[in-house]
Structure formats: C-alpha cells, structure tokens
Amino acid sequence: MRTTLGLFVALVVSASGAAQAQEVLRTWVSAVGDDANPCSRTAPCATFAVAIANTVVGGEVDALDAGDFGPVSLTGAITIDGRAAGGGIEGAGVSSVTIDAGPTDVVVIRGLSIRGNGSAGGVVFNSGAGLHLEDSYVFGFQDGIVFTPPAGGQLMLTGVDVKGNGGAGVLVGSSGGTATATMAGSRSEGNDVGVRAVAGARVALYDCDASRNVTAGISAEVGAGGGVSEINLEEVAVTQNDVGVRATAAAGTAVVRMSKVLATANGTSPIASSGGGAILSFGNNRLDLVPALALSSTAPSQQVTAGDTASYSVAVAVTGLTSAPIAFACSGLPPGASCRFTPATLPAGTRTGSVTVEVTTTAMSTSGGFLSRSSSPAPPLAPMVPLLAMALGLAGLATAKRRSLRRPLGALVGLMLLGGLVTVAACGSSASPNNRDLANGGEVDMSDTPDLGSAPDLAIPPAPTPPGTYPLQLTGTSGALTGTLPLTLVVN
C-alpha cells in the first residue's frame, strides 16, 4: 500500500514539473517581482531582460502591473505585452528596445510606455523579418522608432503615439532592400519631423496624425547617394508644422502621394518639393491655400516675317497641387498660322516648369495662290476607233453593190452591223465592263479598261498670313485648374 502511494505522489510531482517546463513559453514581470524568481505567474521577475532569457523563441512576456522593466535586446521572435497593466521601459542614454533578429523572426510589442532622456533611439530595428508595435507610447528620444534593416523588412504601427523626439518620430529606410512601413490609427506629434522616409523606404499612412512637428509633418528624402523614397497618405491630418508635406531628392526620387489629406495652419507651406522630389495629389485634399496655375514670359511679344516662326519661352508656376498633366492651347491665331508646344504637356504634380511656344506663319505661295493641275495624255488609239469603223463600213458597202445590186438595202444593213461589231470589238472590249462577268453575277473587271489618264491633281496652297499685329492667348489646363497668358504676334 505504501509503495502504491509513493508511486502516485511521484507521478503528481513529475506532472507538475512538466507543466512548469511548458510555462517557459510564457513568462511574467511585475514591479514587485524578483529576477531570482522563475518568472511565473505567481513568482514574476523584475525585468524584461531576465524574463526573456527564460522564454523560448516565439514565446511571450507579460507585465502584471505598471512599472519600469528595463531596456531589452532581442535576438529572436518574441512577444512583449503590457496591455493588462501598462508596462513600461525607461531608457537612460541607451535604446529601450534593440532588435537584432533573424531573417524570419517577427517581434511583437504591445501596450508599452517607452520613455527616453533625449538620446539614442526608442525602438531600434536593425534586422529581422518584421516588427509589430501596437497600442504603445514612444517619447523623449533622439529618434522615436528607427526601422532601417539593411536587408529590408516590414514595420506595422497600430494605435501608436510617438511624441517629443528630437529627430524623427518615425524613421524608415534601407540601404540594401525595401523597408515597408504601414501606420494606422497612429500619431507622430511634437518631434522635429513626424514621419521621415529615406532611401529604400515605402511608407503608407491611413487615419493618422502628423502635426505640431518643428520642421515637417511628413518628409520623403533622398540624399546624394540616390535611391527611392515613397510615402502614400490616406486620411491624414498634417497641421501646425513648419511644412506640412515635403519631398526632396538630391539624387534619385522622392515621391509623396496624397488623398484626403488635411494640411492647414502650417507655418511656411502645406507642401514643398525640391530636386527629384514630387508631391502628387488625387485631387481630394484640403490645403490652406488657393490653388492656382500661373503662366509668365519675359518676352511675350514677337515680330516675324510671313513664313517664319515666332518662339515664346513661358514659365509655369503652380500653387497647390495638380491632379492631372498640364496641357496647353493657343487661340487668336491669324490665317495660315499654327501653334506647337515643347514639351506637349507637363506632368501632374508639377510645381514649377517651362514650355516653349512656337507660332509658325505662312508666306505667299510661289504659284500666286492659283490651283495647279496636271493630267496624262489620252492613249493614241482611242480617237481612231470610230474612223476605222466608218472606213470598214464604206468598204463593205462598195463590195455589196458589185455583188448583189438587187439587194442593196439588205447589204447596207449587214455592212452597217459589221461596222458596229468592229466598233464594239475595238472599243467595247477595252472601254466597257466585261459583259460575261456581269451576266454571271460577278464583279466588273476593270483591268481591261484603258488608262484614260489620272484625275487632275489639285494643289491648294495654304492661305498666307497677312501682315498685322495679332493678340494671342496661351492657356494651360490641369483638371479644373486653368491659367492664361496674353501674347502678341507681329507679322511683317
């Protein structure tokens, strides 16, 4: 009996130990915990670093209450969750969260308050497949969230507030791949730059706020090293920055696409671009300026001799954004004049550009303006056919008189028919359609018709441009946006 009882107790202890071993998939920390504890639910640790060391890759660390659980360095896939109690990390001169994970590792951080002292980065992602940061606060660092994996990766920010950082609230880029970032329901406020995308970045913001930043709310930037930076905005508020949305590229391309963006009360401008930077609009944004398209020229009057071309150099300036290419047209042209533009259009998103307008006039034609025509001579055989038929008829009549004087009328009729057949044979076989083809219901064979000469060629020279002074108007159009410029053409 004692043996049986002892065996039962041993099995219970063994099962309990196995259960504790499985719990390393999930560990806990607490403000009143101790790092000497096993990091269990009832015996939590005091820091994230120790709890992570006791958690298998792919496991989870939870905070039981509010507190400072120290900076962490992550090398594999793991989840840190502080939503139940508002866990936190205080960064003292170092990055609060540093991630150097493997190429397939995804790190998830939820519900943390991550605070710095003005230096280093808040959450720094150096390598890994991706980072999901949810329902968290990051503030008081040099850069709040730094996502710059050389091989690229994916950043997901949901319900994240990034505030009061000396540099960028969110910095995204990659030196050798594509760093893709998606922000939804998040705010980046009170930083130097709210969201900054450098070369190798592809960023999308939906239902976000990038306001009250010192330099710019949204900035796509590419330096002298080149590359591509891309930001797409949908339902984003960009207010009370110095510049709302900025795109600048010393080399390469930086582009920002805007849809349903509210950019108001910005100090310098709601939008700004330079170099290879471009800001594109879907035509449904609200900016605190009146959009306009202005055309100007330093030499709006040109004088030419009829037959020459007048050339106007025109500068184009756009206030706001254009959602369609800028097309040009001329009106008020004199007779014989035409208008051409180089380039034919300017692309959508153009802020400043130029176009050359050429007005070509026409001189008096050397033929004096009369019609000229040419024709080919008729073939020589055609006019001889009736004469040949008549001669044959007369010869037949003479022969009939000698042979049959008693039947002159019959002979005459016969010879006239013979002359008619000769005429038909001579003319009808070549000038008339093929009767056999018509009888058989076929098409007319025109290959046997004689070449009677081609139709006359009528050459109508263009009307010459009369001398005089002509007021012209150049119009530039992009969607509903229109600009005009008066020009003067003097023809001698």
Q: Please check whether residues 168 and 265 belong to one and the same domain.
A: yes
Asked if residue 200 belongs to a domain, the reply is yes
Give the CATH number for residue 356: 2.60.40.2310
One domain, residues 249 and 300: no
Query: Are 79 and 119 members of one domain?
Result: yes
Confirm whether 345 is domain-assigned.
yes
Residue 112 lies in a domain: yes
As given in the structure block, the two tokens for residue 299 are 């030499």
Tell whether 285 and 299 lie within a shared domain. Answer: no
What whole-number distance in Å separates Cα of residue 326 and Cα of residue 356?
14
Same domain membership, residue 297 and residue 280: no
Same structural domain, 220 and 284: yes
CB atoms within 10 A of CB 373: 10
Same domain, 320 and 281: no
What amino acid is encoded at 373 in this protein?
R
For the record, the structure tokens of 261 come out as 């963006």
Asked if residue 85 belongs to a domain, the reply is yes
Least confident of 5-19, 30-44, 281-295: 5-19
Q: 138 forms bridges with which residues in the sheet?
A: 114, 162
117 and 148 in one domain?
yes
Asked if residue 423 belongs to a domain, the reply is no
243 and 261, same domain (yes or no): yes
Q: Indicate whether 424 pLDDT > 80.
A: no
Domain boundary among 269, 290, 311: 290
Q: Among 231, 258, 290, where does a domain finish?
A: 290
- pLDDT-derived band at 288 (thresholds 50, 70, 90) equals confident
Pairing of strands 137-139, 113-115: parallel
Residue 57 lies in a domain: yes
DSSP 306-374: TTSEEEEEEEEEEES--SS-EEEEEE-PPTT-EEEEESSEE-TT-SEEEEEEEEE--PPPTTTT--B--
Degrees to nearest 5, angle at CA 35 with 32 and 38: 100
Domain endpoint, select from 237, 255, 290: 290
User: How far is residue 54's CA from residue 104's CA, in Å, rounded to a whole number?
Assistant: 21
The residue ranges of DSSP E strands in 164-266, in sequence order, are 168-172, 179-184, 187-189, 193-197, 201-209, 216-222, 228-237, 243-263
Average pLDDT, integer, range 208-230: 97
Q: Is 114 within 8 Å of 136 (Cβ atoms)?
A: yes
| Tens-place pLDDT, residues 437-472 | 433 444 444 444 444 445 455 556 678 999 999 999
Domain count of the chain? 2
**What is the average per-residue pLDDT within 207-233?**
97
Q: Is pLDDT at 248 greater than 80 in this prediction? A: yes
Going by DSSP bridges, is the β-strand pair 309-319/292-296 parallel, antiparallel, or unpaired? Answer: antiparallel
3-state secondary structure of 390: helix
Query: Are the beta carbons of 275 and 248 closer than 8 angstroms?
Result: yes
**Whether residue 273 sits in one domain with residue 147:** yes
* CA–centroid distance for 203 within its chain: 16
Whether residue 224 is contained in a domain is answered as yes
Q: pTM value?
A: 0.65
- Are 70 and 202 in a shared domain? yes
Q: What are the backbone angles phi and psi of residue 239, rounded to the nearest 5°?
A: -130, 155
> Nearest-5° angle of CA 93, CA 97, CA 101?
135
pLDDT digits (tens, 9 = 90+) for 352-408: 999 999 999 999 765 544 333 333 444 444 445 455 545 555 555 454 444 444 444
CATH number at residue 257: 2.160.20.10
Count each helix (H run) and each strand (E run) in the chain, helices first: 6, 34
pLDDT in tens, 317-368: 988 777 789 999 999 999 999 999 999 999 988 889 999 999 999 997 655 4
Same structural domain for residues 230 and 216?
yes
In the prediction, which pLDDT does 394 show? 54
Which structural domain, as residue segments, surrounds residue 308? 293-365+465-491
Answer yes or no: is 401 within a domain.
no
